Structure 1
Amino acid sequence: MKFQIESLEEYTSAYQKSVEDPEAFWGEIAENFQWKKKWDKVLEWDFKGPNVKWFKGAKLNITENCLDRHLKDKADTPAIIWEANDPSEHHRVLTYKQLHQKVCLFSSVLKNNGVKKGDRVCIYMPMVPELAIAVLACARIGAIHSVVFGGFSAQSIADRINDAQCEMVITADGGFRGAKDIPLKNVIDDALVQCASVKTVIVLTRTRTPVSMIKGRDKWWEDEIKKVETLGLTDCPAEEMDAEDELFILYTSGSTGKPKGVVHTTAGYMVYAAYTFQNVFQYQPEDVYFCTADIGWITGHSYIIYGPLAQGATTLMFEGVPTYPDAGRFWDIVDKFKVNVLYTAPTAIRSLMQSGLDYVKDKDLSSLKVLGSVGEPINEEAWNWYNEHIGKNKCPIVDTWWQTETGGIMISPLAGITKTKPCFATLPLPGVQLMLVDEKGDEIKGNGVSGNLCITFPWPGTLRTTYGDHERCRQTYFAAYENKYFTGDGCLRDEDGYYRITGRVDDVINVSGHRIGTAEVENAINMFTDVVESAVVGYPHEIKGQGIYAYVILNEEAEDEELTRKDISMTVSRIIGAIAKPEKIQFVKGLPKTRSGKIMRRILRKIAEGDVSNLGDTSTLLDPNVVEDIKNNKL
């Protein structure tokens, strides 16, 4: 089976084989990687457990596949190009040889500080090459990395560190993001007041912000590098890992207030991230590939670091934001580095659309061959703008659907191969067996139908568990419908058999491509002194896709409603991070509840969306009058 699909016929045949004989299919794909020992069995699984094992018995190290194996032919090929937040700061290029050396050095730093195979390491860093180096160094020695997005609050970090019992934190004095300086080390210091497990903090110098350094615990990155160089520990052989050894934990919002740590293991994740990267983007040698995501999210893990590097690609990392110093920044980067593949989020596209075409018109975008969209369904207006003004009607758009839990892209056009349709993720990738079901779990067959999207068979990037709580993994993903992974998304299958994601059907809001659990936001709002109870829903937002609309009951009427709203927003920001701040906060006297006390979020969602004509039957509510009051005072 060829690794790279080059035509629709090849896609059809690969997909068919992947469904008829998944073990033979993935076994052949896996032959393209470097193994210390081959597998005894390709797949062992059941979704009841869930219990999924890929390439059982195989031994490998993912960094040998991302770095060492390219040294013979690609030593001087750029592995990472880094563009700083400030365009006047000089960019950096790390070749595969240089990246390998830096990863080996920092792997020695980790070992020198007592980190060993199986230990958890929390990484809270700006988007600099050292973040990728830290991630790869953990993987090289078999430590499990848990990257936390640089926008999260001290409380959110503490929750994640405590859940994983991390022994080390890697951070920086600060980070630059647009016009803001982010005080990363100060946030970590606030978090660590609650974290007894952390013994060591390694701090990279980035912003030269004054920080407190605690003797015995806090160490400068640069000093630790010098130490291992002095000791002559410049090489660090890769630790032999079992195929199913844990590679990383990545926390995602849960339907309870507690974040859940999605666990991905080594071999299956590697094979799937690399295979999907190569085929979706149709990557060619020498292409410059630019994914605009942050490594704190799964997109950055799979499609800035592991997928591209496993394929020997040149991956571009950007520290800043698309609108700084102006809304032409992405197009400046495309022009400057002659970017061939651009992978970004609908939120970014909508934000740049609003800025007008003046920022695009004088930029040379002729190097672009493929455009990608990730994080949420893209709306037609944004798709058309992206196609016309950025792709000049000659670049296929790969509208990718996948999740933190899937490890890699699940439904997407293959660039230049699959006929695209605005707003449609189109067809499943080889190995991805989809099913639409109704509320009871019965299959909805045929085309021109919609239902809840499930996956009926494991793929190599399947999540294995939620860290420290396997039952939670089962309940969240595998309990709704028997023997199926439930995605939590609604989906339409059109007359051509193309798939279009219609949005979340569970209590998760997709804000700018980031999934935030309603329960987590409600918990944060409820911690504000004057709040009795709250309910949070998503509503359509023209830039972010979905905004957060909060209905809040106060102890007593607020003297200054606007100030109270700001106070509540600040509370959410402190507890979770600015990303979870509600866009709208409506003060209400009561919430629509059933007689058993369940909040009818369906009604609240419709009101937030402005669709008050069709609220359904409210007669079963404990107090139907509450709905009228909420409707009449809608923001």
Structure 2
Amino acid sequence: MVHDPRRYPPPPGFAARANVTPDVLAALPEEPLAFWEQQAERLPWSRRWDSVHEWVPVDPDDPATPRATWFDGGTLDASVVCVDRHVAAGRGEHTALLFEGERGDTERVTYAGLQDRVARAAGALRALGVGPGDRVVVYLPVLVDTVVVALACARVGAVHSLVFGGFSAEALRFRVADTGARVVVTSDGQFRRGRAVAVKGTVDEAVAGLEHVEHVLVVRRTGEETPDVPWTAGRDVWWHDALAQAEPVTDPGAWDAEHPLFVTYTSGTTGRPKGVVHTTGGYLVQASWTHWAVFDAKPDDVYWCTADLAWVTAHTYVLYGPLSNGVTVVLAEGSPDHPTATRHADVIERLGVTVYYTAPTLVRSLMARFPDGFGAHPDGRDRDLSSVRLLGSVGEAINPEAYVWFHRHVGGGRAPLVDTWWQSESGAAVVSTLPGVHTGVPGAAGVALPGQRVRVVDEDGTDVPAGTSGLVTLEGRWPAMARTVWGDHARYRDSYFARFAARGLFLAGDGGVLDDAGYLRLQGRVDEVVNVSGHRLSTIEVESALVAHPFVAEAGAVGVDDPLTGQAVAVFVVPVAPPATDDPAAWRALAEQVRPALVAHVAAAIGPVAKPAHVVCVPDLPRTRSGKIMRRLLGDVLTGRPLGDTTSLQDETVVPVLQRVVEGRANAG
């Protein structure tokens, strides 16, 4: 892999005040079970655990294996961990949530106010018959009510599953049916780039014929702008009416540590989404500690993770991690570039955001639009981003050029940048840099965090030498690990544990390289590596080379069949300066114009073997809501194969545009 030589050590002033310093790190227990038991002491347990961890490995004769428990016998309540304990500690008037609506409406919610709302919402759910183990699907945008519903589910022992509010009826129906949800929570409509869009009809289509759905709770968001709300008497209930009649749950239960907390669906980049199940105790321990350590959580932080609330990142690093640590959390409804391109810069300046955690896809978009500085505006006034003391990246590997731009223009060259690698299945960050300890390395996610052990192995599960590409695996277990796939434990076993069961390794599904210092460089999903004449090329490496070219704002690379080399590299490129027309012919002509320069650039950056055989210029790339490029769909479009699963697409209009550009395109050689 190409190694960027730039390095960003912790600034001395930051390091001196960091939660985790070299001395603190050295004093932590090295043995994982002792380490995680120490971190569990940070939470308010109703009953202490009987055992820290038990593990039953894969047994071919036992379909219930593998299985894990963490802090078994211990009991606690997630809403108490995140809300009630802060009020009890005298911090009830501290701001918990700062909401930024797309239309400019704002709301401030204190921890005491959040406690009242969660207690009343829990009462509303209980009045509808929702109890321990029942599933509640939440189909809402980024709203205060979305947070309230999730915590209210935890308060009554229900299992929540948050679904992106822009998904189609088909995608929503799959998740409602798969979980067997009794209740769906939605809204009358949503605001999308200035328009009020009705969504209740989408929900009705999704739940039609699903007899296990007893109630649809409807939050009033768009009101008179979407007046024709379809209604099924006896099933549908206005959220505000349910709250008004509810008896608040002021005595939350104490749920077993292994009680399911939520089901989150994998993004679907490689196939049918899996309903990953996370339990209460172990998940909260790891979510809370990793947020405190990686994001250096301080009581006065104004913390903004830009993930949609339906993504696992938001579960861990908008909801449960930050609120367990008592910080102020920013919630922003809508798009980052609406109503203005500087919306995020405006929010950072106005609210004094101190920690800003976002996806590389947004960083690259901002870099293309503001190459000389984030926040520049036609009015000539740069936004004041000096409140930012820490940056974070999540979703995919952040390209070195995007890393450097982010650090320089959003962090002012002074704020450390923590890249984080983890998955829906891991539940919390596995690899990152502790900002008061580790040097930031562009192109590398960081090192294994305390309590975690990352190994890069070959096809047989044997560790490869430092600097050699291999399969990323996790040794042992960790508290926030998923316990199963909802309704399909065999898929859980086969996807993650079966291949290296004898070695006790979890297969992450990514390729990567560990260097001599223990820094991990990700190469993308294993099935997205391109094999050209026996040379295995990382799609992320090709994309990073392209993004470093001044023509390219975004890039997606994929392997396609080739009669001579086995596979060839194909790249889809989003230009910094796109054509002024949506005519596919203009996009094809642009690709032919820039193809020689881009091919030469990739060859110089990586080597001749990486030369793209196909270059396609497009207005956008297909992504999941988490920002991951769905490279599988790029290959489907280019080769004319039937499209695979598309239920997790962030924007379903992107793929037809790509298909029109590719149609009629001459074969590139």
TM-score grouping bracket, smaller chain normalisation: 0.7 to 0.9
Q: Could you tell which deviates more after superposition, 485-494 or 542-551? A: 542-551
Q: Which runs of 5+ in 1 are unaligned?
A: 519-534, 555-560, 588-607, 609-629
Match of 2:310 in 1: 296
Please give the alpha-carbon distance, in whole angstroms, between the structure 2 residues aligned to 1:255 and 1:549.
11
Match of 2:96 in 1: 79
Match of 1:593 in 2: none
- Confirm whether residue 458 of structure 1 aligns to residue 473 of structure 2: no
Match 1:216 to one of 234, 240, 244: 234
Match of 1:591 in 2: none
Match of 1:379 in 2: 399
Please give the alpha-carbon distance, in whole angstroms, between the structure 2 residues aligned to 1:553 and 1:371.
36
CA gap 1:170/1:217 in 2 versus in 1, 3 angstroms: same
Q: Within 5 Å, give how 1:241-252 maps onto structure 2.
A: 241-252=255-266
Match of 1:346 in 2: 360
Residues 43-97 of structure 1 deviation map (CA, whole Å, 9 limit, x = unaligned): 001442221110011111111111111113210000111111123x2x1111000
- Confirm whether residue 444 of structure 1 aligns to residue 459 of structure 2: no
The alignment partner of 1:239 has SS state of coil
Match of 1:52 in 2: 68
Q: Could you tell which deviates more after superposition, 271-280 or 49-58? A: 49-58
Q: Within 5 Å, give how 1:63-462 maps onto structure 2.
A: 63-71=79-87, 72-87=89-104, 89=105, 91-208=106-223, 209-210=226-227, 211-228=229-246, 233-253=247-267, 257-356=271-370, 357=372, 360-361=375-376, 362-445=382-465, 447-462=466-481
- TM-superposed CA distance for 1:440, in Å, is 2.1
User: Which AA in structure 2 matches 1:173?
Assistant: D
Please give the alpha-carbon distance, in whole angstroms, between the structure 1 residues aligned to 2:317 and 2:332.
13
- TM-superposed CA distance for 1:181, in Å, is 3.4
Residues 119-156 of structure 1 deviation map (CA, whole Å, 9 limit, x = unaligned): 00000001110000000000000000011111211011
CA gap 1:277/1:384 in 2 versus in 1, 3 angstroms: same
User: Which AA in structure 2 matches 1:58?
Assistant: G
The alignment partner of 1:52 has SS state of strand
CA gap 1:234/1:390 in 2 versus in 1, 3 angstroms: same
Match of 1:42 in 2: 52
Residues 476-496 of structure 1 deviation map (CA, whole Å, 9 limit, x = unaligned): 111222221111111111232
Match of 2:592 in 1: none
- Confirm whether residue 505 of structure 1 aligns to residue 526 of structure 2: yes
Match of 2:34 in 1: 24
CA gap 1:250/1:395 in 2 versus in 1, 3 angstroms: same
Residues 417-449 of structure 1 deviation map (CA, whole Å, 9 limit, x = unaligned): 21111121111111111111112222214x222
Please give the alpha-carbon distance, in whole angstroms, between the structure 1 residues aligned to 2:572 and 2:431.
23
Contact kept, 8 Å, 2:391 with 2:417, in 1: the verdict is: yes
Please give the alpha-carbon distance, in whole angstroms, between the structure 2 residues aligned to 1:64 and 1:456.
32
Match of 2:590 in 1: none
Contact kept, 8 Å, 1:44 with 1:52, in 2: the verdict is: yes
Residues 556-613 of structure 1 deviation map (CA, whole Å, 9 limit, x = unaligned): xxxxx9xxx9xx99x98789663595377669xxxxxxxxxxxxxxxxxxxx9xxxxx
Aligned residues: 548
- TM-superposed CA distance for 1:507, in Å, is 6.4
Q: TM-score if structure 2 supplies the norm length?
A: 0.77
- TM-superposed CA distance for 1:6, in Å, is 2.4
Contact kept, 8 Å, 1:160 with 1:259, in 2: the verdict is: no
Contact kept, 8 Å, 1:122 with 1:161, in 2: the verdict is: yes
The alignment partner of 1:506 has SS state of helix
CA gap 1:11/1:540 in 2 versus in 1, 3 angstroms: farther
Contact kept, 8 Å, 1:153 with 1:573, in 2: the verdict is: no
Contact kept, 8 Å, 2:374 with 2:410, in 1: the verdict is: no
Contact kept, 8 Å, 2:46 with 2:76, in 1: the verdict is: yes
Contact kept, 8 Å, 2:32 with 2:452, in 1: the verdict is: no
Contact kept, 8 Å, 2:70 with 2:282, in 1: the verdict is: yes
The alignment partner of 2:385 has SS state of coil
Q: Within 5 Å, give how 1:565-576 maps onto structure 2.
A: none
Identity of aligned residues (%): 38
Contact kept, 8 Å, 1:399 with 1:423, in 2: the verdict is: no
Contact kept, 8 Å, 1:549 with 1:583, in 2: the verdict is: no
CA gap 1:273/1:497 in 2 versus in 1, 3 angstroms: same
Residues 486-519 of structure 1 deviation map (CA, whole Å, 9 limit, x = unaligned): 11111111232211111111369999xxxx9x9x
- TM-superposed CA distance for 1:186, in Å, is 1.6
Please give the alpha-carbon distance, in whole angstroms, between the structure 1 residues aligned to 2:411 and 2:84.
35
CA gap 1:550/1:255 in 2 versus in 1, 3 angstroms: closer
Contact kept, 8 Å, 1:550 with 1:585, in 2: the verdict is: no
Contact kept, 8 Å, 2:168 with 2:202, in 1: the verdict is: yes
Please give the alpha-carbon distance, in whole angstroms, between the structure 1 residues aligned to 2:393 and 2:373.
22
Residues 5-51 of structure 1 deviation map (CA, whole Å, 9 limit, x = unaligned): 5212432443xx24xx2222211211111111100100001442221
- TM-superposed CA distance for 1:631, in Å, is 11
Match of 1:7 in 2: 21
CA gap 1:244/1:403 in 2 versus in 1, 3 angstroms: same
Q: Within 5 Å, give how 1:479-490 maps onto structure 2.
A: 479-482=498-501, 483-490=504-511
CA gap 1:305/1:551 in 2 versus in 1, 3 angstroms: closer
CA gap 1:234/1:400 in 2 versus in 1, 3 angstroms: same
Residues 529-557 of structure 1 deviation map (CA, whole Å, 9 limit, x = unaligned): xxxxxx9x995655767353144699xxx
Q: Could you tell which deviates more after superposition, 300-309 or 412-421? A: 412-421
Please give the alpha-carbon distance, in whole angstroms, between the structure 2 residues aligned to 1:415 and 1:538.
37
Please give the alpha-carbon distance, in whole angstroms, between the structure 1 residues aligned to 2:439 and 2:656.
37
User: Which AA in structure 2 matches 1:495?
Assistant: D
Contact kept, 8 Å, 1:178 with 1:324, in 2: the verdict is: yes
Please give the alpha-carbon distance, in whole angstroms, between the structure 1 residues aligned to 2:199 and 2:132.
26
Q: Which runs of 5+ in 2 are unaligned?
A: 1-17, 59-64, 377-381, 530-538, 544-555, 559-566, 575-619, 622-627
Residues 397-433 of structure 1 deviation map (CA, whole Å, 9 limit, x = unaligned): 0011111111111100112321111121111111111
User: Which AA in structure 2 matches 1:478?
Assistant: F
Contact kept, 8 Å, 2:268 with 2:645, in 1: the verdict is: no
CA gap 1:480/1:506 in 2 versus in 1, 3 angstroms: farther
